[in-house]
């Protein structure tokens, strides 16, 4: 009898081991599928932002006009009336949504590249700040992920500081698009909006300005480490007028996510780019990334290159209502030196060579 029970027990143990082994094999088989699914979600999260930036505003504008010609004209009229009443909201701090900033989609967005935010110094909540973000790249992926969402944990790393990423004011004239941007804490890059944030919205505000703008986007390419800054002094004058500390920010890898087609100076296409830049505030770039389904094909999906954003040491700025040109030049020079030191200190940690230098144009 004991022999039979021992044999039966051994059979059960063998069966249990077989089941456990089968479950382990199943988890190994399922894991690659899960990893592949996460990669697809990452691509979709990035692609939706690219398409939103490129076509959402124009598409919603056309749809609103079309609705006036249909039975839905009353809805269009009501929305237009509300739009007129709400017109100045972007200039007055916007309509930030913590819920939108914490969407799960932004974690997939972050992990696609991936994007990292590195804090080097504490920022005091009883001060206001102007962050100078460099370089522009094509779509400012690092700037948006770090300061337009909470995917990289800005609020936890800088408690008491509220970031507001400044972008083209024209984006806030388009229906739906304006609300989408405001929900992330994004504001127009104009004097009225920035003045409000730095003087009428209390302290602990950090306005993030992509200093190089459209001109810098025309120069970006993989491996290029140059910023348009030499003659950009308006943000320094504004910092002096408001007594807001200057903070240099550099994103390693921002220029590596797209490849751009460059046109020679004095060519027709280059002329058109500069005219668009002067009239509309942005320059149409001819660029490409990888394809949606095949990584070795061309498309609008950016390459999955790491973007590491370093927030440097704040430069304490006095409040001077009417700063002289000499004072502006002094703090502008201090800012450039601080940015160069930031670049040199972190370049090897972010994959660059010791011999790489930052070119100031």
Give the side-chain half-sphere CA count within 13 A for 263: 16
Burial category of 149 from C-beta neighbours within 10 Å (exposed 0-12, middle 13-18, buried 19 and up): buried
Burial category of 8 from C-beta neighbours within 10 Å (exposed 0-12, middle 13-18, buried 19 and up): exposed
The region, left, alpha or beta by phi > 0 then psi within -120 to 50, assigned to residue 239 is alpha
| Main-chain dihedrals φ then ψ at residue 81, nearest 5 degrees | -65, -45
| Range 104-131 average pLDDT | 97
Specify the pLDDT at position 4.
Answer: 43
Residue 347 has pLDDT above 90, yes or no: yes
Specify the pLDDT at position 7.
Answer: 43
Calpha distance 167→192 (Å, rounded)? 13
Cβ atoms of 25 and 92 closer than 8 Å: no
Chain mean pLDDT for the chain: 88
pLDDT band of residue 287 (cuts 50, 70, 90) is: confident
Task: Give the contacts of 133 (CB within 8 A, at least 6 positions apart).
Answer: 140, 142, 143, 147, 208, 209, 210, 211, 249, 251
Q: What is the pLDDT of residues 39-96, one digit of tens each?
A: 899 999 999 999 998 899 999 999 999 999 999 999 999 999 999 999 999 999 899 9
| Range 203-217 average pLDDT | 91
Q: Which range has the worst mean pLDDT, 136-145, 207-216, 227-236, 247-256?
A: 207-216
Residue, of 265 and 174, whose pLDDT is higher: 174
Bridge-partner residues for 210, per DSSP? 133
Cβ atoms of 168 and 282 closer than 8 Å: yes
Cβ atoms of 164 and 202 closer than 8 Å: no
| Range 316-321 average pLDDT | 95
Alpha-carbon Rg of the chain, whole angstroms? 25
What's 1-24 look like in SS3?
CHHHHHHHHHHHHHHHHHHHHHHH
Q: What is the pLDDT of residues 126-155, one digit of tens each?
A: 999 999 999 999 999 999 999 999 999 999
| Range 237-252 average pLDDT | 97
Closest CA to 314 of 286, 339, 287, 347: 339
pLDDT band of residue 307 (cuts 50, 70, 90) is: very high
Q: What is the pLDDT of residues 8-44, one digit of tens each?
A: 344 444 444 455 454 445 444 445 577 889 989 999 9
Task: Please report, rounded to a whole number, the percentage of residues in the chain having pLDDT higher than 70.
Answer: 87
Calpha distance 191→238 (Å, rounded)? 9
Burial category of 106 from C-beta neighbours within 10 Å (exposed 0-12, middle 13-18, buried 19 and up): buried
Calpha distance 300→307 (Å, rounded)? 18
Calpha distance 198→242 (Å, rounded)? 6
């Amino acid at each position: 009898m004991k022999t039979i029970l021992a044999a039966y027990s051994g059979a059960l143990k063998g069966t249990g081991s077989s089941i456990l082994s089968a479950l382990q094999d199943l988890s190994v088989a399922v894991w690659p599928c899960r990893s592949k699914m996460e990669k697809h979600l990452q691509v979709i999260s990035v692609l939706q932002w690219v398409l939103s930036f490129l076509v959402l505003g124009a598409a919603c504008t056309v749809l609103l006009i079309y609705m006036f010609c249909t039975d839905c004209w009353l809805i269009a009229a009501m929305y237009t009336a509300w739009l007129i009443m709400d017109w100045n909201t972007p200039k007055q701090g916007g309509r930030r949504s913590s819920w939108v900033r914490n969407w799960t989609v932004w974690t997939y967005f972050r992990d696609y590249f991936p994007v990292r935010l590195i804090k080097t110094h504490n920022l005091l909540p009883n001060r206001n700040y102007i962050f100078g973000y460099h370089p522009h790249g094509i779509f400012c992926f690092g700037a948006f992920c770090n300061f337009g969402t909470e995917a990289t944990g800005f609020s936890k790393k800088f408690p008491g500081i509220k970031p507001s990423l400044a972008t083209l004011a024209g984006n806030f004239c388009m229906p739906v698009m304006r609300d989408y941007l405001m929900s992330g804490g994004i504001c127009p890059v104009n004097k009225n909006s920035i003045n409000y944030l730095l003087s009428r919205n209390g302290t602990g505000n950090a306005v993030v300005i992509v200093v190089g703008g459209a001109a810098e986007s025309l120069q970006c390419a993989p491996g290029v480490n140059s910023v348009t800054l030499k003659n950009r002094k308006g943000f320094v004058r504004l910092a002096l007028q408001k007594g807001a500390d200057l903070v240099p920010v550099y994103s390693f890898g921002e220029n590596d996510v797209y490849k751009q087609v460059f046109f020679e100076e004095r060519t027709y296409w280059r002329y058109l780019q500069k005219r668009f830049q002067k009239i509309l505030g942005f320059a149409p770039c001819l660029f490409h990334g990888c394809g949606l389904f095949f990584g070795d094909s061309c498309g609008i999906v950016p390459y999955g290159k790491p973007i590491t954003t370093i927030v440097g040491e704040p430069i304490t700025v006095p409040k001077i209502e009417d700063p002289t040109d000499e004072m502006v030049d002094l703090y502008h020079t201090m800012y450039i030196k601080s940015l160069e030191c930031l670049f040199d200190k972190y370049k090897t940690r972010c994959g660059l060579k010791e011999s790489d230098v930052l070119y100031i144009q």
